[in-house]
Structure 1
Amino acid sequence: MDDSFELTRRKTLAALGSIGVASAGAGLGTSAYFSDQETFENNQLTAGTLDMKVTATEYYSDWSADEAEYAGMATDEASTDIRLPAGDGQSDAQDIAIDIDGDNYANFFDAISTDADGNPYNRVNGGMAAAAGGLCGTESDADGPVIIDIGDVKPGDFGGAQFAFKLCDNPGYVWLTGGLESASENGVTEPEGDDPDEGEGVELLDEVQVAYGVGPINGDTSAFEDTDAGFQPVEQYTLREFLAMLDGGGIALDGDIDAEIGGGTGEQGCFSGGNPEEPSVHEVSVVWWLPIDHGNQVQSDSVTFDLGFYTEQCRHNDGETDLVAYYPFEGSADDVSGNGYDGTLVGNTSFTSGPVGQAASFDGDADLVTTSLNVGSANESLTVAGWLKLPSQSVGQNHFAFSNYVDTSHDGFFAIGTNDGDGMFFWVRDANRSNNAQTGAYEPAFDGTWHHYAGVRDADADEVRFYIDGTLQETLAFPGDVAIRDGDSFFGMMQHYGNRNLSGDADDVRIYSRALSASEVQSLYDSA
């Protein structure tokens, strides 16, 4: 299921598409397994053999009069029922502390699921209420557009979505998926320009806070915990961080049964399926809020993003996507795959606009990013892929953009690079320097526009492959039973041989411990 959300100061949750596309083998999961993907994009539902049914309810609080009948801002910690905290980087902001009058929880949440005139916000397939008795066997095509148009979002407002889903036959692993589609400042207003927190980029991505959780329908969610200061998120993220996690292979949701019970082998729990008549419906909550602040720095900012679900069968499956590291470069070199290979910025590496969101920018002097990532063992496939925007520049010798080349050692490496400043190649050499495969240099490159490059080492097929903008350029033989590097290595961007630095921008760099197929490489290119 994919929702397109537009979060702006003028239009907050807009342009939700319609339910569409559920297909076998979709996404970057292991396509040998049955799978299903639910999306609000193409106004149709084509069910795969693993069938997920969904409903959703949207809610939004702008503190209108109908909401004020049942709740208000808390005056102290003791009177706080729900607390939505400011983020770590929001020292000048206040928490949203909500005091619900008496036992009016249900009335308050009914109020924030409708506008001031009592008209309901978006309810897909009848909303959460329709899911209580089970979803299988229902018609959930939702063949019309689903639109929410909420204006004038201000500091102190909050909202979100509740999703109910049911796996109607077999147990499955489920991921929360999506990512940033676009972001814009839409110009800078006078008060925004005068705000001391105003800077380059779309501040709304960093000011909006997000939490998510999963649980049984109408049961406790993992998103919130009861504290002395009220119910508050267990973990929270900026919208920028949250979307980066969604885009990096998705967020693995912990199911209600162990993988072994569902016939799987992974550490990630599976979600129960089984008899379509049984009401084992699961609930996912996504909550956003804009902490109380002067807020001028977000005026007119807009953000559009996707949100959805992807499921794969649990049986005979470990649920792994094999994404080792992912660097979206949203203001940092953090690895958002969850594996902890955070990068280190060296020199004057900065950030600029990328194909989507931000990108790392290198000046060609001494800028680079390094990580402790170690891949390329014997019989281990790998894929390195990312976006590059390279201006015309004098090269004259080998320069690498993405590689695990260590200092001045020629013993074992993989690299996407150039030797003439005209085209790009993929080059792999084993640790003993016995096997070497370097593709030809291919264009487009060095034209000042964004292009997607992917190098694949397929150990099972004894070959390497090189792609530009989703299109295969060349395939070369390379034995799969040799190690690219025997010891620890690192992964670096925009440097080779210690002093050969390329100038340009890099974005959305991903490293997988398997060989992506041609369709999966094409999907990475198409996603931006």
Structure 2
Amino acid sequence: MTDERLTLTKRKLLAGVGSVGFASVGAGLGTTALFSDTESFEDNSLTAGALNMRVTVDNIAHSTTIVRDNTTVTPADTADGDAVTVAVDDMKPGDWLILEWNPEIIANPGYVRVTSVDEDYSNDEGATPEPEGATASPGDLGDAVLSTIWQSYDDLSGGSSPQDLEGLDQTTDRNDSGLGSYEEPTNLNGETPGGAHYTTMNEAHDVYKTGVLLRDPSTGDPLEVGSNSDAAWFYQLLELPLGVGNDVQGDSVTFTLRFDAQQVRHNDDPFNNSA
């Protein structure tokens, strides 16, 4: 955001005008002197505050180096004013990856809203290899890949694993189970032993396409990003379960996440204030 500068007009302040009379003892003529003083307050200005957000994304964990090498982010790693597009190619049943999203706000604290841009989302039917057979557009991958959001990632296992994810976000849990840590789904529908129901890519997009406000997981209040130099992190797990059929072969999913920031101060209803 470009700083806007408003300079106030200089005003001279006449501090005092007075007169004192004196009697002339020599010539019998009266003389008068005027005392004056002027004080100035110059170069007064008001400067509008700044609000600047940048977002970094990193592929922090993956099932294989092939998945890592076939994950591309545009623009690379950090966006400052642009949308972030993520494309994952050549996923096989059993593959997964974890994306770490890190929005940070500079200068003033702000609220952050995340949107899966509807016009940029695609679930396309690709080439039809022999095992897949005849299928129709759209593709099948968007209903097969599970996409979930987690509050934290603690590398407790000594390696890279979805088991290190904690705090399933309710926006990607169809049962709103409050699942505390990752559980492997028991079926292709994304249901887990603890009662969670993970969303697919298509289902997660349907939730985020209208915009989701980042919230404090302990209170549910809108999260203030940037207070005391704090940033925010959340983690997106993308996994293609074992047992997925040949229908997904050659299909592709591309999505864009847009991050919007709005100041905290004088903002009781983030992204709904008209003022």
Show the counterpart of 1:244: 206
Show the counterpart of 2:258: 308
Show the counterpart of 1:410: none
Matched, 1:225 2:180: yes
Q: Contact (CA 8 Å) 1:57, 1:121: kept in 2 or not?
A: no
User: Structure 1 residues 55, 159: closer, same or farther in 2, change over 3 A?
Assistant: same
Matched, 1:189 2:129: yes
Show the counterpart of 2:91: 153
Q: TM-score, normalised by structure 1?
A: 0.31
User: Structure 1 residues 207, 228: closer, same or farther in 2, change over 3 A?
Assistant: closer
Match of 2:240 among 290, 294, 301: 290
1:127-526 pair list within 5 angstroms? 151-180=89-118, 181=120, 182-193=122-133, 201-214=138-151, 221-223=166-168, 225-226=180-181, 236-248=198-210, 250-255=211-216, 268-275=221-228, 278=229, 280-319=230-269, 321=271
User: Structure 1 residues 252, 115: closer, same or farther in 2, change over 3 A?
Assistant: same
What CA deviation, in whole Å up to 9, does each residue of 1:191-214 have, x standing for no partner? 2127xxx56531111111110133
Q: Contact (CA 8 Å) 2:95, 2:241: kept in 1 or not?
A: yes
User: 1:227: Cα distance to partner?
Assistant: 7.1
**Alpha-carbon distance in structure 2 between the residues aligned to 1:200 and 1:272:** 40
User: 1:228: Cα distance to partner?
Assistant: 8.2
RMSD between superposed Cα atoms in Å: 4.5
Matched, 1:49 2:50: yes
How many pairs were matched up?
200
Q: Contact (CA 8 Å) 1:178, 1:247: kept in 2 or not?
A: yes
**Alpha-carbon distance in structure 1 between the residues aligned to 2:262 and 2:85:** 29
User: Structure 1 residues 167, 63: closer, same or farther in 2, change over 3 A?
Assistant: closer
**Alpha-carbon distance in structure 2 between the residues aligned to 1:141 and 1:311:** 12
User: Structure 1 residues 55, 229: closer, same or farther in 2, change over 3 A?
Assistant: closer
Aligned residue identity for 2:52: D
**Alpha-carbon distance in structure 1 between the residues aligned to 2:61 and 2:127:** 26
Specify every segment of 5 or more residues in structure 1 that has no aligned partner in the other structure, as ranges.
1-21, 25-47, 66-111, 126-139, 259-266, 323-513, 517-528
Show the counterpart of 1:79: none
Between the two structures, name the one with larger relative contact order (CA 8 Å, sep ≥ 6): 2
Aligned residue identity for 1:208: V
User: 1:188: Cα distance to partner?
Assistant: 3.0
Identity of aligned residues (%): 27
Q: Contact (CA 8 Å) 2:100, 2:234: kept in 1 or not?
A: yes
Q: TM-score, normalised by structure 2?
A: 0.56
User: 1:285: Cα distance to partner?
Assistant: 0.9
What CA deviation, in whole Å up to 9, does each residue of 1:424-454 have, x standing for no partner? xxxxxxxxxxxxxxxxxxxxxxxxxxxxxxx
User: 1:273: Cα distance to partner?
Assistant: 2.4
Q: In terms of Rg, which structure is larger? A: 2
Aligned residue identity for 2:105: L
Aligned residue identity for 1:50: L
User: 1:23: Cα distance to partner?
Assistant: 8.4
User: Structure 1 residues 314, 141: closer, same or farther in 2, change over 3 A?
Assistant: closer
User: Structure 1 residues 226, 252: closer, same or farther in 2, change over 3 A?
Assistant: same
Specify every segment of 5 or more residues in structure 2 that has no aligned partner in the other structure, as ranges.
4-48, 156-163, 169-178, 186-191
**Alpha-carbon distance in structure 1 between the residues aligned to 2:151 and 2:102:** 10
